[in-house]
Chain A
C-alpha cells in the first residue's frame, strides 16, 4: 500500500516555501478549530445546565454551573450507569488482551516463520481486512445462539471470542509490518545460541514488539469502547448493557427533562477516549499513518 511514513527532511524547505500570509492562514485555522470544537464545548456546557437553562439559555455555556444532571443521569435507569461503565470497561480491556495476544502470535507466524501455504494464508488475511462486519453479523448471531452463548450467564462471549482469535486482521497486518522492521540478525544470533521458533518469539520478538502492542492496545480499546453495532446485537438484558447501548435508552424517553442527564452521561462516556487522546495524542495521530484507517 501507500508508504506514508512522515519524514522531517523536507521541513526546512517547506518553511522556506511557506511565505504567503501567515496571519490569514492562522485566522482560517482558528475558524476551523472553532467549528471542530463547538459541538464538544456545547455538549459539555449543556450537560452542566439546569433543566430551566437548557430550555431558556441557548448559549454555549451555562450561567450557573449545576452538576445535578450527572447524579440524575447516573441513576436514571433501574441499573446505575456505574454498572454500564464496568461492563464497557471489562469488554474493552478483555478485547485489548485478546487482540494483543492473538494478533501477535499470527503476526509472528506471517512475518518470521516459513511454512506451507504461508503466502496463501497471508493473502486471505489481507482479504479479510475490508470485510464489513455487517455482512457477518446475522450468521454469527445464529451460530453463537446455537451454541447457547447469546444471552447466556455471561453474554459477552460472542463479543470477545472473535477478539481472541485474531479476527481483527488490521492489527495482524500492523504487527506484521512492524516485525518486518526488526533486524533478522537478532533471530540469527538467538538461533546460533540454540533458540527455536518459540525461543525467538519469547526472547526477541515479544520484547521488541512493545510499540506495536501499545498501538494495538490503544486502538482496540477506543474502537471497542465506541463500538455500538455488535454490542447492540448481542446484549439484551439491561444489567448486561454497555455504555453505548445504555445511552440509546435515553432516546426512547422523549421527554425534555432527559436531555440534561443524557448529555451528562454522553460526556462521561467520551471521557476515557478523551483522556487517551490527551495522553497518547502524538502516538494516535502518527499511528494512523500506518494504522488508524478506521474512523
Chain B
C-alpha cells in the first residue's frame, strides 16, 4: 500500500485546484496527511475488501461450481457454465421469477412515481398545513418495508379483510385476493404505490427549484395550466424524475419482504409472487443450491448495471439540466 511512500509534491489530488496557497504547507504536514488519510480510511477499506470485494469474487467462483453449504470446500466441483446454462435454458421457474419481477417493476414503479408527482403538485403551494400533509404522506415510506406492515397488508386483502368489507359497502363481493394467483402480485403493487411519500418529498423539493419567472413568461405567452405543466414543469423537473426513476426501479427489482410474508417464503400462490430475490433466497438457503444462487446473483447484478446504464444513456434525450451541462 501507499502508506510508506513519500508524498509526491507535484501530484494534484481531486479538489486541489481550489486549494488555498497556504494549504501547500510544510512537507511534514502533507506526509502526515497522506498517512492519516489511510488511517481514517482503513475501516472502510477493510470492509470494502472483506465484506464486498472478496465475497463478490467468491460468489463469481461459486457460480461455476455446484457448491452447497454441506460439502467441504475441498470437494467442491467445478461445473463450468452449467449453472448459467440451466438458468437460461432449463429452469422455467427462473424465467417465471424474471417475469414476475419485471411485471412488478414495470407497473408499480410508474404508478408510484405518478402518484408521487401528482400529490407533490397538489401540495406544491405555500399554505398552512402543507407540512402536516407532507409528513402524513411520508409515513408509509417509513413503515411500508417492514414485516409488520406486510402482515397487515396480506390480511387486509384476505377474504375477511378490510378491502372486501369496503367493497361490500358498494355491493361488490370480493375474493381472497392474496390467495388468487391472478391478484396476489397486484396487492403487492398496491403496497408499493402506497409508499409514494419518499419520491413525493423529492419531487416537492424539485418543484420548489423551478423559477417562477418561467411560469410568468409562459402565461404571458398565453400558455394554460396544462401547457405550463408540459412545457415548464416537466422539463424543469426531469432531473428529479430521472433520479426517482432510477432509484425506484432498482428498489422495485429488489422487493423481498412483502412477497416473503404473503407467500410464507414460497413465492406462491402458484409462484405468482416469486420475485427474483425471493427465488434467489429459496435457491440458496432453502434448497442450499449456493452455486446456482451465486450465478443468479451475478446475472442480477449485471442486469441492474445494464438497466442503470440504459437509463443514463437515454437520459440525455429527455433529462434537461438547467445549468446547460450535458451529463
A167 to B311, CA, bound (A): 26
Q: Is the CB of B37 within 8 A of A132?
A: no
Chain A interface residue count: which class?
35 or more
Task: Decide if A106 is an interface residue (CB 8 Å cutoff).
Answer: yes
Chain B residues closer than 8 Å to A263, beta-carbon distance: 151-152, 155
Partner of A39, one of B34, B36, B156, B254: B156
Given contact pairs A39-B153, A281-B135, A135 touches B119 in the complex (Cβ within 8 A): no
Partner of A4, one of B23, B56, B209, B277: B209
Binds A, one of B45-53, B77-85, B90-98, B102-110: B45-53
Given contact pairs A7-B208, A114-B33, A270-B143, A139 touches B294 in the complex (Cβ within 8 A): yes
Given contact pairs A124-B48, A229-B257, A134 touches B277 in the complex (Cβ within 8 A): yes
A191 to B28, CA, bound (A): 12
Task: Decide if B41 is an interface residue (CB 8 Å cutoff).
Answer: yes
A269 to B138, CA, bound (A): 18
Given contact pairs A4-B205, A139-B56, A274-B143, A118 touches B14 in the complex (Cβ within 8 A): yes
Q: Is the CB of A116 within 8 A of B2?
A: yes
Q: Is the CB of A121 within 8 A of B243?
A: no
What 1/0 mask marks residues of chain B from 22 to 64 whose CB sits below 8 Å from any chain A CB? 1101000110111111101101111110111011101100100
Q: Is the CB of A247 within 8 A of B52?
A: no
Task: Decide if B264 is an interface residue (CB 8 Å cutoff).
Answer: yes
Closest to B276 in A: A134
What 1/0 mask marks residues of chain B from 122 to 141 whose CB sits below 8 Å from any chain A CB? 11111100010111111111
Task: Decide if B300 is an interface residue (CB 8 Å cutoff).
Answer: yes
Tell me the count of chain B residues lying within 8 A, CB to CB, of chain A.
120
Task: Decide if B13 is an interface residue (CB 8 Å cutoff).
Answer: yes
Partner of A40, one of B123, B131, B143, B300: B143
A46 to B152, CA, bound (A): 10
Closest to B212 in A: A13
Residues on A lying within 8 angstroms of B by beta carbon are 1-8, 10-15, 17-18, 22, 25, 28-29, 32-33, 35-40, 42-43, 46, 55, 58-60, 101-103, 105-106, 108-110, 113-119, 121-122, 124-125, 128, 130-132, 134-143, 145-146, 161-162, 164-167, 172, 184, 188, 191, 196-198, 201, 222, 225-226, 228-229, 232-233, 243-245, 247-248, 250-252, 259, 262-263, 265-267, 269-270, 273-274, 276-277, 281-282, 284-285, 288-289, 292-295
Chain B residues closer than 8 Å to A13, beta-carbon distance: 212
A42 to B197, CA, bound (A): 20
Task: Decide if B173 is an interface residue (CB 8 Å cutoff).
Answer: no
A167 to B50, CA, bound (A): 10
DSSP majority for the B interface? helix
Q: Is the CB of B43 within 8 A of A165?
A: yes
A293 to B48, CA, bound (A): 22
Supply 12 A–B pairs (Cβ within 8 Å), ascending by A.
A4-B202, A18-B126, A46-B155, A102-B44, A114-B30, A115-B36, A130-B304, A135-B301, A143-B50, A161-B51, A266-B147, A288-B198
Q: Is the CB of B43 within 8 A of A166?
A: yes
Chain B residues closer than 8 Å to A141, beta-carbon distance: 69, 284-285
Given contact pairs A116-B5, A139-B59, A281-B135, A166 touches B126 in the complex (Cβ within 8 A): no
Given contact pairs A14-B212, A165-B47, A247-B147, A138 touches B243 in the complex (Cβ within 8 A): no
Task: Decide if B142 is an interface residue (CB 8 Å cutoff).
Answer: yes
Partner of A172, one of B44, B125, B239, B251: B44
A12 to B212, CA, bound (A): 10
A32 to B122, CA, bound (A): 11
A3 to B206, CA, bound (A): 8
Chain A residues closer than 8 Å to B152, beta-carbon distance: 39, 42-43, 263, 266
A132 to B47, CA, bound (A): 16
Q: Which 9 A-B pairs have the closest CB atoms?
A: A165-B47, A115-B37, A197-B36, A58-B165, A266-B148, A139-B55, A106-B44, A13-B212, A109-B40
Most A C-beta atoms less than 10 A away, residue of B40, B55, B126, B265: B40
